Amino acid sequence: MAKLYGYARCSTREQNADRQLVAMRGFGLTESNILLEKQSGKDFKRPVYIRLLKKLKPGDTLVIKSIDRLGRDYGEILEQWRVITKEKETSIVVLDIPLLDTRRKDRDLTGTFIADLVLQILSYVAQQERELIHQRQAEGIAAARARGVKFGRPPMQKPEMFHEVLSAWEHKKISMREAGRLLGISYKTFQSWAGFQSN
């Protein structure tokens, strides 16, 4: 017997899939048939999604709220769509876009072409939006650096006994590793500080 599944995803930062869940309940899905994943869509290494793929059988229907719930990479979304509809022989319903409903067996060649075209356009747009966000972030960071904003952890302060330990090392009384241990830092950090001190 064919089954109906829903797949909802939100990133761990969003922590909110309410809109997706409400839409799926409105479609007729029960809680037991909705699989919720709290993970980024940047790739398909998602345990809940992988479990869902194993469940899908020919004749089943997968419901998602929007195409970007499958992911944000243009090529990968298209590949997953192919796997689900062709290999798994499962129908897909995208609630936000009625054209993307593969349950319609009466669809003619033109209708199928339009649906495929819409899918490709939307997948491409999802990827472009993601790349644009990354570009804006990079530009924002560059602008902040140009204004003198510092990123990352503040530099570690040298302990009070640094100069004494440095002198002992310079006079070959202790090794670099011993100097690091005395100061409670790695020998590489000591090496860096010692090099800076000697300049």
Same domain flag for 29 and 111: yes
Indicate whether 182 and 85 sit together in one domain: no
Annotation says 192 is catalytic: no
Sheet-wide strand order for 91-94: 34-38, 4-10, 61-64, 91-94
Amino acid, res. 188: K
Q: 20 with 69, same domain?
A: yes
| pLDDT of amino acid 79 | 83
The residue to which tokens 């100061």 are assigned: 183
Examine residue 137 and state whether it is found in any structural domain, yes or no.
Answer: no
Task: Please indicate, yes or no, whether residues 89 and 169 belong to a single structural domain of this protein.
Answer: no
Task: Tell me, yes or no, whether 191 and 118 share the same domain.
Answer: no
The verdict on 128 and 166 lying in the same domain is: no
Radius of gyration of the chain (CA): 28
Exactly one of 11, 175, 186, 192 is catalytic; name it. Answer: 11
Residue 151: per-residue pLDDT: 72
Query: Torsions phi, psi of 34, nearest 5?
Result: -105, 125
Any idea what the CATH number is for the domain that residue 24 is in?
A: 3.40.50.1390
- Kindly report, residue by residue over 61-79, the tens digit of the pLDDT: 999 998 888 876 777 788 8
Read off the pLDDT of each residue in 130-153 and give the average, rounded to a whole number. Answer: 81
Please report whether residue 24 resides in a domain.
Answer: yes
d(CA 189, CA 4): 58
Give the structural domain span for 188: 162-198
Nearest-angstrom CA–CA distance, 198 and 75:
53
Rounded mean pLDDT of the chain? 82
Q: Please check whether residues 73 and 121 belong to one and the same domain.
A: yes
Please report the pLDDT score of residue 53 as a whole number: 93
For residues 9 and 60, membership in a common domain is answered with yes
Token readout for 51 is 């479990």
Burial letters 140-168, b for 16+ CB under 10 A, else e: eeeeeeeeeeeeeeeeeebeeebeebbee
Contact 34, 69 (CB under 8 A): no
Do residues 9 and 36 lie in contact, with contact meaning Cβ atoms separated by under 8 Å? Answer: yes
Residue 99 lies in a domain: yes
In a domain, 152, yes or no: no
Is 148 inside a domain boundary?
Answer: no
pLDDT at 166 over 50: yes
Domain count, the chain: 2
Whether residue 108 is predicted with pLDDT greater than 80 in this model: the reply is no
Residues 181 and 121 in one domain: no
